[in-house]
């Protein structure tokens, strides 16, 4: 669980910093249209999950890990990262970009959830090397 906490916190903190970076560039993540550079935020969960699952594979599993082990660890990492990112988003909405924009925020968080799930499957498939045969 230590691995999930560490990399989940990294993903959550970087996502919160991304919100502030977008705001400092003059764009609000609550605008109707997403700016082109906003799509680069997808890199945060991809890289965080890759290094988190890779660390879990070599440090906890001895270099041998199945797909379901990787997927469960990915979901743990995303759960921690999601909690931190949602907290950062709520703080951002209430104090930085105050207004009635909860609907836009919730749609962005749902999109982030879908991206996280797709990334979890991709990273788990990429790093799994132990096959489980059913005889």
Query: What pairs with residue 130 in β-bridges?
Result: 66
Q: For residue range 54-98, what is the model confidence (pLDDT) as tens digits? A: 999 999 888 888 888 899 999 999 999 989 988 888 887 777 766
CA distance 134 to 104: 45
Kindly give, in sequence order, each residue whose CB lies less than 8 Å from that of residue 115, ignoring residues fewer than 6 positions away.
42, 45
**In whole angstroms, how far apart are CA 58 and each of 23, 44, 53, 88?**
38, 21, 9, 31
| Distance (Å, whole) CA 58 – CA 107 | 36
Of 18-27, 31-40, 71-80, the least confident: 31-40
Predicted TM-score (pTM) of the model is 0.83
Q: Phi and psi at residue 59, in whole multiples of 5°?
A: -90, -35
pLDDT of residue 1: 79
Q: Report whether 64 contacts 127 (CB < 8 A).
A: no
The pLDDT value given to residue 24: 77
CA nearest neighbour of 52 among 18, 14, 5, 17: 5
């Amino acid at each position: 669980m230590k691995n999930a906490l560490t990399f989940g916190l990294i993903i959550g903190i970087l996502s919160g910093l991304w919100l502030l970076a977008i705001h400092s560039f003059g764009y609000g993540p609550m605008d109707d249209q997403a700016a082109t550079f906003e799509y680069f935020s997808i890199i945060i969960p991809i890289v965080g999950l890759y290094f988190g699952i890779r660390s879990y594979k070599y440090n906890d599993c001895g270099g041998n890990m199945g797909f379901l082990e990787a997927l469960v660890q990915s979901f743990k990492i995303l759960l921690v990262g999601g909690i931190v990112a949602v907290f950062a988003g709520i703080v951002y909405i209430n104090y930085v970009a105050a207004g009635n924009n909860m609907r836009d925020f919730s749609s962005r968080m749902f999109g982030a959830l879908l991206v996280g799930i797709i990334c979890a499957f991709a990273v788990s498939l990429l790093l799994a090397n132990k096959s489980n045969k059913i005889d």
